[in-house]
């Protein structure tokens, strides 16, 4: 009998001894609601309050062990020990691949269960050891200054929703009774910086922007059955997100019918009185949060619910109702059932960092890499006489990780990956050359001359989690993890210039980071530019796979790279005018959806199933994609819509379809998209979807339609028009 079985048996034994029969909460044959209600009825008020905080203590008299709700799994099980580390979320988003996202999340949840099973057998109930994961982050990366944008799936609501739903399904599993793990949609809502102000900031969003940009991904995840939603630190339109009648009551619970639990961001309840100043103390804040539906307190403010009951700020019945919703999750995870009934309890520890998961991490990293420039030097032969690799991030483990990461005993740096891929006859030399964020104190240069006598030079530059990330984690950031300077550190550009001086040998820039950067000078200087994000434990191998042509790059940008921050509205402005590819009028440095390949693709004319439709009808769009190059490669086929004659303010373009196709040279594939009325609807100023009569333009291609994409080397998008009848 396992330790878990022993625990349940002990609980049953204790309670049966006291009461003479098995209690309802342990009776697996009873309906879930009856079991949960029975357990709540057996708790004292103090015990109820304790169970509503993230570090819930055990209740020995009922045989209930402690449970810590706080766990992370952004791109692998985080902060809990050895785990497979996949590319950071923004890198996964660059794959534009729902199937990959589902497989990655499935691997993560397998490892999560395996770790939980092993820890339970040891009697461990530590933070970051449970099955409730506060991921994915589906906030919109509306401004490149936000240091936590790396945790998101980019700037587009459609892409974010598609990838987020796939992640939730992979994390939670498909068992008819049990959750493999519990996912959480965060941070609800209208939350994407500034980091320094998040505990006091009021994000103002119009009804249109709410419904068009900030809420669609949350709605999609709720419809997909996400188990939890995390309310954000900030206020939205005047109300703290964790006490918002609009967000929590009207939209989440009533309109969307969300049945899971709501968890506060950590110590967000304390912000009610320390930052937002909407109440005076913890008792008032806790009562307010529970009344608006926050079931779980990450923090310790809910201790004050005892005082709140005494002061008639809240009733014990209201606490019971909130706790009942919360405890359903633990029951759905099978934490009160005999171990043998739940198949996830049999997932063994050997799945953790298994060969299959390492291979998946490598595939994910390969598909995340975005080639921004190639003047023909890539792919390189791997048997040239001499290679040189340099730069502050070449040998860095830090740049593999991003934030919210696990640890792994087999991390592959970019230096190690390239070294493992070259021919034994070839030479490879390495020097770091410069530091990441500051000029060298020692002016002596033993590095840049190596580029002149090497057949190819790789310079690994960019930024790392030291410079961007969450408040408190980015220890070299002067802006609490945000990046208010869009440029790369100047000394990195100067170093790249020196590496190019006096020769014509290829210099390949490999850029790490989790957000847009000003790469204009890098693009001008380097012969090829690869954006590799924070690529995870197999990042080094994946970079080498792309450089030496084992795979063709197929990543696409999930966020626009502006030429300058001056092209954007103020950081604190949450209106979408002038932001993201959907409303940005000025030409970008790199457009949304852009990325180059080692092959070329052509698109046939778009074939529509109908040139005219009623407002409630759908239309199919077909296109034939052909690999016109010399290499097998994957193309990310993207469909965009626009409604040029709309009476309402409408996006310039709106991503409405994605399909990946892998084609050998000369091969073709037909790609079909079904366009439903909700796709070509426009959101009016009141936040309502409106299907208007008039033309709808359809664009299908390999990047955002427009001259900048074509100038950088993307295939020209095909266009077609259908009309919605009056």
Catalytic residue of the set 265, 482, 634, 684:
265
Catalytic (active site) residue 573: no
Residues in the chain: 726
Q: From the CB of residue 689, how many other CB atoms can be counted at a distance below 10 Å? A: 13
Catalytic (active site) residue 566: no
d(CA 581, CA 701): 15
Q: Report whether 625 contacts 671 (CB < 8 A).
A: yes
Catalytic residue of the set 72, 151, 468, 470:
468
Question: Structure tokens of 575?
Answer: 């209106």
Place of tokens 């994407």: 192
Q: Look at the alpha carbons of 624, 627, 633, 635 in this order and tell me if their dihedral is positive or negative.
A: negative
Place of tokens 């290829």: 506
Contacts of 190 (CB under 8 A, 6+ apart): 203, 205, 210, 214, 232, 234, 236, 241, 574
Question: Structure tokens of 272?
Answer: 């009610």
Residue 566, Cβ density class (10 Å: 0-12 exposed, 13-18 middle, ≥19 buried): exposed
Alpha helices in 516-560 (DSSP H): 520-525, 539-547
| Strand-by-strand arrangement of the 261-264 sheet | 184-188, 228-231, 261-264
d(CA 674, CA 342): 39
Place of tokens 């033993």: 446
d(CA 361, CA 92): 10
Q: Report whether 471 contacts 268 (CB < 8 A).
A: no
**DSSP per position, 287-337:** HHHHHTT--BBSSSGGGGHHHHHHTTSS-HHHHHHHHHHHHHHHHHTTTTS
d(CA 88, CA 621): 33
Residues marked active site are found at: 265, 468
């Amino acid at each position: 009998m396992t330790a878990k079985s022993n625990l349940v048996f002990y609980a049953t034994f204790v309670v049966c001894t006291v009461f003479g029969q098995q209690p309802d909460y342990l009776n697996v044959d009873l309906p879930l609601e009856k079991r949960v209600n029975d357990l709540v009825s057996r708790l004292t008020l103090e015990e109820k309050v304790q169970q509503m905080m993230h570090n819930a203590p055990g209740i020995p008299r009922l045989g209930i062990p402690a449970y810590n709700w706080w766990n992370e799994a952004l791109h692998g099980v985080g902060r809990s020990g050895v785990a497979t580390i996949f590319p950071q979320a923004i890198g996964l988003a660059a794959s534009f691949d729902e199937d990959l996202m589902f497989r990655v999340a499935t691997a993560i949840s397998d490892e999560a269960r395996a770790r939980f099973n092993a820890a339970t057998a040891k009697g461990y109930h530590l933070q970051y050891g449970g099955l409730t994961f506060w991921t994915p982050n589906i906030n919109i990366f509306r401004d490149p200054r936000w240091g936590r944008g790396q945790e998101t799936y980019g700037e587009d609501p459609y892409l974010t929703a598609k990838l987020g739903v796939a992640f939730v399904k992979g994390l939670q599993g498909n068992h008819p009774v049990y959750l493999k793990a519990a996912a959480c949609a965060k941070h609800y809502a209208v939350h994407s910086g500034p980091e320094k102000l998040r505990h006091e900031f009021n994000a103002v969003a119009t009804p249109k922007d709410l419904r068009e940009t900030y809420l669609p991904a949350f709605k999609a995840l709720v419809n997909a059955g996400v188990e939890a939603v995390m309310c954000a630190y900030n206020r939205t339109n005047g109300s703290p997100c964790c006490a918002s009648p609009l967000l929590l009551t009207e939209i989440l619970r009533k309109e969307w019918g969300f049945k899971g639990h709501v968890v506060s961001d950590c110590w967000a309840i304390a912000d009610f009185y320390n930052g937002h100043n909407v109440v005076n103390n913890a008792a008032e804040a806790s009562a307010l949060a529970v009344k608006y539906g926050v079931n779980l307190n990450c923090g310790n403010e809910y201790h004050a619910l005892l005082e709140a009951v005494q002061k008639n700020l809240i009733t014990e019945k209201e606490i019971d109702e909130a706790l009942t919703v919360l405890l359903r999750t633990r029951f759905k995870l099978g934490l009160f059932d005999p171990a043998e009934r739940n198949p996830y309890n049999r997932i063994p520890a050997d799945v953790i960092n298994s060969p299959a998961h390492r291979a998946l991490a490598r595939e994910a990293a390969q598909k995340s890499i975005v080639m921004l420039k190639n003047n023909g030097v890539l792919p390189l032969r791997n048997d040239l006489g001499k290679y040189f690799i340099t730069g502050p991030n070449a040998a860095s483990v830090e740049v593999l990780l991003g934030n919210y990461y696990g640890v792994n005993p087999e991390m592959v740096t970019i230096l190690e990956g390239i070294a493992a891929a070259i021919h034994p006859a070839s030479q490879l030399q390495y020097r770091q050359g410069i530091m990441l964020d500051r000029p060298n104190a020692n002016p002596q240069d033993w590095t840049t001359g190596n580029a002149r006598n090497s057949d190819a030079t790789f310079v690994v530059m960019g930024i790392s989690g030291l410079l961007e990330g969450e408040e408190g984690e980015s220890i070299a950031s002067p802006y609490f993890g945000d990046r208010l300077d869009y440029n790369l550190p100047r000394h990195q550009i100067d170093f790249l210039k020196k590496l190019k001086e006096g020769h014509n040998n290829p210099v390949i820039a490999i850029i790490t980071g989790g957000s847009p950067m000003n790469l204009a000078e890098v693009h001008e200087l380097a012969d090829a530019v690869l954006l590799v994000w924070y690529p995870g434990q197999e990042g080094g191998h994946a970079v080498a796979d792309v450089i030496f042509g084992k795979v063709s790059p197929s990543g696409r940008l999930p966020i626009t790279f502006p030429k300058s921050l001056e092209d954007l509205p103020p950081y604190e402005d949450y209106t979408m005018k002038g932001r993201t590819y959907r409303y940005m009028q000025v030409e970008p440095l790199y457009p949304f959806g852009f990325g180059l390949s080692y092959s070329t693709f052509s698109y046939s004319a778009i074939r529509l199933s109908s040139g005219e439709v009623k407002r409630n009808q759908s239309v199919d769009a077909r296109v034939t994609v052909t690999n016109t190059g010399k290499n097998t490669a994957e193309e990310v086929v993207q469909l965009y819509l626009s409604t040029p004659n709309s009476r309402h303010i409408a996006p310039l373009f709106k991503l409405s379809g994605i399909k990946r196709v892998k084609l050998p040279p000369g091969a073709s594939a037909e790609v079909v998209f079904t366009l439903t009325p909700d796709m070509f609807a426009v959101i009016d100023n009141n936040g309502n979807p409106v299907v208007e009569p008039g033309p709808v333009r359809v664009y299908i291609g390999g990047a955002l339609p427009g001259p900048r994409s074509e100038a950088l080397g993307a295939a020209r998008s095909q266009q077609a028009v259908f009309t919605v009848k009056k």
